[in-house]
Amino acid sequence: MLASPLLQPEIDPPKGGQGGLETAVESSQNTELSMDPDSSTEVSTTSDDEYAQLQRRFILATLAVSAFAVSVTALVFDLHIASSLLVGAVCGVLYLRLLARSVGKLGKASKSVSKIQLLVPVLLVLAVSRLPELELLPALFGFLLYKPAMILQVLLESRT
């Protein structure tokens, strides 16, 4: 019993009359507060809200970059190529949304990322091959527009 530092008698107590036992009780109360399940629920809710806001910002940035790219393509090239780019951009936004939803469920309802979003580029290529009014290369470029939009969004957020 004498080996425990809390149970050993103090020879010279600190000024203010607080002994080691009172300090130990205060530190255990601080530990209890941090282990409170309600506070972990609040942290989880806050992180869920932040993730939802991040998803919205990424999707809005993708839509903005896509609208700009489709507008420039319609002015520089013809509407045939701009429509292919638009179809690819819509598929890219769908892919990003499915991926974000799958990542959002990670840890709560699933242990791995779903593979359903991988069907989007496959269906895009199949649709382009079946429809003569769509071109493959502009559609693929449109699909990949979510990547520069994400980079742009990260750069904008790092400045603030």
Residue 18 has pLDDT above 60, yes or no: no
110 phi and psi angles, rounded to 5 deg: -140, 160
The token pair that represents 44 in the structure block: 């989880």
Q: 0.85 cut: is pTM over it?
A: no
Residue 27 has pLDDT above 50, yes or no: no
Q: What share of the chain is helix, strand, coil (3-state, %, to 5)?
A: 75, 0, 25
Per-residue pLDDT tens over the stretch 120-154: 999 999 999 999 999 999 999 999 999 999 999 99
Each domain of the chain, given as residue ranges in start order, spans 77-160
The pLDDT, as a whole number, for residue 96 is 95
Residue 5 has pLDDT above 80, yes or no: no
